[in-house]
Structure formats: structure tokens, C-alpha cells
Structure 1
């Protein structure tokens, strides 16, 4: 129904549908105000007049006016009637960004094969966990994490990773990144491996700490170079990322003797193929090491479940920081993971994943026979060094992208630009099982063509 009030000094052209008169009137007025047809300061008809013209109840018009006053579209003053409020200018409309086109084959590092997520086992664990869960489970939880998960983690980490973990020393976090940020926020100067993941350096800086580089060689991080001016050091001792070296025994002793806090990033410690996994540094110095683990590589990064085993002196500061960050990590996932751990379905899944990734590692070595491949004793990635005389990383990556293949580069992992060794990082855990052989074939052809 279209109505025109010329006598009010403002034209109102409102189409109010027959059903849902109040909601329809509200929508019509909002549209007129947003589009600029009703300008700020324009006076609207009295409720009685508008009700007569539209053929609806006066109370319906009054309720619609009241709702739009509450929302800020209208203002109402005694004796002045109802007028259009001054609204902030509308946000500019930007064209929708085209979704990123995924590469045909993805061998970038950082992710496991998420198609291997144990959905059936996760659902069974969730049912077990929630079947007898009390109502308090769904209330606000403990910033340290649910007691069931902390107890299950203490048992698992001691049994599998050699970590000395009491449930009271464990804080459950929303992934590794949060654990790193909580710990970095308690320190002024943090040493980080060079090369290492640039994003993690950014996390530490945003937490307020200053980052200093710690060189890495074939024996792992140069912990013998740590100085007393450094408060904490972030290490990947089981499988250095991205060079793939395990921290040598002498370097382990050196970092313990150094005396500062060691943030041990055990991101893929379960995946070692040629011998037993290297035990955690935390097991020999629990009061000097904050051990950080995650389910991102064993299950999937979507879960956002991590944990940190702390020295006694850091428990309360980290818990307090966690409380003021997100209060606590969501509880349903914690209970489900606890059930998965205590039923040993988690162990069975990790064993199956380790067997699958070892087969992928072996296939990588077979397909690239003759190429220098490093860092393949553990983890989900391998390093392919490039010769000093070329081709460069940029040239190889450009050619790979042209062929539909995504790879990682070594160059972006250095703290500073300079004359560094160049190389490609191949994430053999990333693609699905069905696409992995074809991805390797394409990689082999690429390396042959650019050699």
C-alpha cells in the first residue's frame, strides 16, 4: 500500500505488506531512512494520522516508532513529535573479494592430512564424555582446563614423551599460539630459532617481548650462544622447524645449564620414523622448561586444543593471563579429548598416522632419488636445499605455481634478509592420500626441469 503525506513537508512512500504490519512498517521506515529518502530532522506523521492512512491500529504504529527510537533511527521529544535521527554515514560498499583459488596440488608445510581426522572415534569419545556429564559441565570452567583432560594429559605425556607432568602444573590453551603468547607476555627478551616460523615471532612481539635470533645448524639451535640478557628461549628440540634437526645432547645440556626459561615447542614429537621419538627436554629440567604440546598435527588444527606443562613458579601467572585472555578453553572438546586419551583410541590413531606419514616420507625419498633431501627422520616436512648457483627460490616457486603446485620456501623463515642458504620446504603431510602420489610426480618433474 503506497501512501503520500504532502502536507507534512516530507514525502513518505511506504509499502507495508498485508501480513506482519508492525514488522513491515519498521522495515519500510528503516529502508527509507537508510536510503536517504527520509533525511535527518524530517518530521514523521503523528501515530494516529499514520494509522488512519495505512489502515492499521494506532498501537501498531506507536510500537513501530518506539522500536526505531530504541534502535537510533528516530528521536521523539514531547511537543516536537517524532523526527528522523542523524545517522553516521553508511560504510562504503566494497566489491566482494574473489575466493582464493586453491592450488591443484598443495605441498606446503604446517598441516597434517585433515582427511585422516578420526571422526568416528571423536564422536564415540564425545558420547562417552557427555553421557554422564553433570550440568555444571556447561557452566563457566576452570582457566587451567578441565581436570579430566589435565589428568589424562599428565598420564599420556609422561608415558609417551617423558614429560614430568602433574595435573596441577598443566594449563589447557586454545592451541599453541595462545600458549606461546601467554608465556611470551611474562618475559622481556625472547630468543627464537633462526630460521624459524615468522608468524610465531610476530606472536611473541605482539605479546610485548623483544625477539632476538638464535642460529641453528645441523645439530639444532646454538643454545651454547644464549646470553644472560635473554629471559626465555623458544626451541623445537625434537624436530627443528624448518631445518629438521634434532637438538644434540650437548646443546640440550647447554640450554639447561643456561638457566633461563625454555619454551619447548613439541609440535610433532610423536612422528619419528627411524627410531624411538626423542624425549622432551622438560623431562630432565621440569623447573626450567615450559613444555607446549598441541593436537594440531596429530588430530587437526581446527580443534584449537593445546597444553603447557609449567614450572611451579609460572603456574599462577599463566593461569591469571589465561583468565584475562579468554577465561578458559571450550570444555566439550576438552572432555572429548580426555576420553580419547583414556580409552587409548588417541594412541591407536597416532600409531596409524605415524605409519601413514612414514610411508609418505619413503615415497618422497623414492620419487626424488638423487635429490638432496634433509630433515626426514621425523615430522611432516622435508627440506630440499637449492644449489648456490641457482635456480633461486623465487624462480622455482613461480614455476611451481604456474604448474599448479604450492611449496614452502626457506627464505621467509630467516629473521633478517641476507645471503642465506636457499631451499624448498615440502609438507608431505598436507595433501590427501589420493592426491599425494600425483603431487610428488609433479614435484619431481619440476625439479628436473629447473635443475
Structure 2
């Protein structure tokens, strides 16, 4: 048990460095926050392109890779079947962040890589987007060769997670309340997702929408040349918080925005998208 995926990555970075691994490939585009945690832990993070089937396994050159196969951040792509088999044949260490696996709307669940390759996959997840980020409850399943070192790293970091929140989580799981809560969330988030797609169609019809089948965000991209950072700053000045897609890139690419809908009502989503469109039209 760990204090979220963020701590899992920090502990893992220290253990990998001690094992002689100095770099871990990451998806491109991929989470800025994840990259920051890995770099803070002393690892180099070379980018590997993501396409419509997920990470390009043929472009992997590092001894380890971090992937989000259930719902890639930020594109929303699910790792395709053939690409999944390629990754399982690859001979490096796979770190699987089970990002947004529970929040799916238009597709069935996909099996975790860890279930098929327990000795090659480090599996990490948390309840941050299922219950509350403030609870800081996460987990990490690791190959046997790293287990003792990671347990030691966790002990020296904080002597272990608080037990009471874990007991509460265990009760919610055993009683069925967690599954009922998840069904409620899926219905609510599906409505919010649909509201955002409809609002984008009305106000930003030229934007391409990515990743709608699952998760708590949409990614949109534009053909037009613009600074997505400047657009995000201008939108924030109007009270709407979005993330520029370029934050999550290490290589040049098309501009875009990452738009979260999990914490907003359909009416707020409509107004937010309207403001983004208005700011974009008024930009020089």
C-alpha cells in the first residue's frame, strides 16, 4: 500500500536506480506530473510516440517503460490487442499505471497487463478518482525481485499508510458499497461527458475530440496554429481552468487542450466551453 501512484513512482525510481536502471521510457504525449515524479526520482524519461493503438512498442529503446494501457493520458487511447501482444513480447520492465480503468462508458473493461506478466510488470493504481484524492490510498504489485527493496523504501519513507482509511476502503469493497458507488459515478460522468461533447460541437466545431469512451477528461486538438499555453492562460483569466496539451509533450506536436468534466455540472461545462470558444475567437 502506498500514498497514491505519485508515491509509488517515487519509491520505484529509487529502487530502479539502485538496480542500475537510469531511464524509463514514457508515452508521448504523456502525463507531465508523472514525468516530473520520475525525474525527481533521478530517472531520465525518453518519449515514445503514441498512436491510435497506443504506445509504439517498436520505438522502445529503454530498459523500462511506463504505460497507461486502460486509458492513455491524455489521448484516451486504449492499448490495442496486437500492440498489447507486442509489448508482452518486449523484454524490458513494464510499469503499468491503471489510470482511469474504472471510468469507462462505451467499451468493456480490458485486462491488466499484470495479470498476464506478473514477473515483468509493476502494477500501480489508486482510489483518487474513485473516492477522493485526499485519502491518499494507492497500491503497487511488483515482481518478486523488487518486492523486498520496495517494502524497505516504503518503510524508510513513512513507516506505512494510515490503517483506518484502509479499513474503511476494505469495508466498502466487501459490502458492495464501492461497486454501487462506481455505478452511480459512471452514470453521472457519462452525462457530464455527453454534455461536454455537445457543448464542443456547438461552440468549437473545428476542434477534434479524443478519448471520449472512458475517463474523466477529453482531449481536443486544433488544426490552426496557436499557442495552447497562451489560450489556457487567457481562459483561466476568465475563470475556466484547462491544461494546454503542450504541457504533456516532450516533442513538437499539434496544439490542444485537456478538459476535465468530472467535477462540473452539465450547465457549468456548457458555460466553460462557451468561454473557451469566446476567448479563442478574440485571440490575436
When the two structures are superposed, what TM-score results if normalisation uses the length of structure 2? Answer: 0.90
Q: Which has the larger radius of gyration?
A: 1
Corresponding residue to 1:297 among 129, 138, 143: 129
1:261 to partner: Cα distance: 1.5
Pair 1:240 & 2:76 matched? no
Pair 1:375 & 2:207 matched? no
Corresponding residue to 1:283 among 112, 115, 123: 115
Pair 1:335 & 2:167 matched? yes
- Measured on the aligned residues, the alpha-carbon RMSD in Å equals 2.0
Contact 1:267 1:297 in 2 (8 A): no
Superposition pairs of residues 140-151 of structure 1, within 5 angstroms: none
Pair 1:273 & 2:71 matched? no
1:403 to partner: Cα distance: 2.4
Count of matched residue positions in the alignment of Structure 1 and Structure 2: 275
Indicate how the Cα distance of structure 1 residues 448 and 352 shifts in structure 2: closer, same or farther if over 3 A, else same.
Answer: farther
Tell me, in whole angstroms, the C-alpha distance in 1 between the residues paired with 2:245 and 2:270. Answer: 23
1:309 to partner: Cα distance: 1.6
When the two structures are superposed, what TM-score results if normalisation uses the length of structure 1? Answer: 0.58
Structure-1 residue corresponding to 2:3:
174
Corresponding residue to 1:430 among 263, 273, 277: 263
Comparing 208-217 with 439-448, greater Cα deviation is found at 439-448
Pair 1:385 & 2:221 matched? yes
Structure-1 residue corresponding to 2:42:
208
Tell me, in whole angstroms, the C-alpha distance in 2 between the residues paired with 1:274 and 1:211. Answer: 32
- Unmatched tracts of structure 1, length 5 or more: 1-171
Structure-2 residue corresponding to 1:183:
12
Corresponding residue to 2:185 among 342, 353, 376: 353
Contact 1:184 1:190 in 2 (8 A): no
Pair 1:219 & 2:53 matched? yes
Contact 2:192 2:265 in 1 (8 A): no
Q: Secondary structure at the match of 2:123?
A: strand
- CA deviation map 1:213-232 (0-9, x unaligned): 222122211122223xx232
Structure-2 residue corresponding to 1:12:
none
1:449 to partner: Cα distance: 5.5
Superposition pairs of residues 156-175 of structure 1, within 5 angstroms: 172-175=1-4
Contact 2:9 2:37 in 1 (8 A): yes
Indicate how the Cα distance of structure 1 residues 208 and 395 shifts in structure 2: closer, same or farther if over 3 A, else same.
Answer: closer
Corresponding residue to 2:242 among 407, 412, 430: 407
Q: Secondary structure at the match of 1:337?
A: helix
Q: Secondary structure at the match of 2:158?
A: coil
Q: Secondary structure at the match of 1:307?
A: strand
Contact 1:223 1:255 in 2 (8 A): yes
Q: Secondary structure at the match of 2:96?
A: strand
Contact 2:191 2:266 in 1 (8 A): no
Indicate how the Cα distance of structure 1 residues 362 and 449 shifts in structure 2: closer, same or farther if over 3 A, else same.
Answer: farther
- Unmatched tracts of structure 2, length 5 or more: none
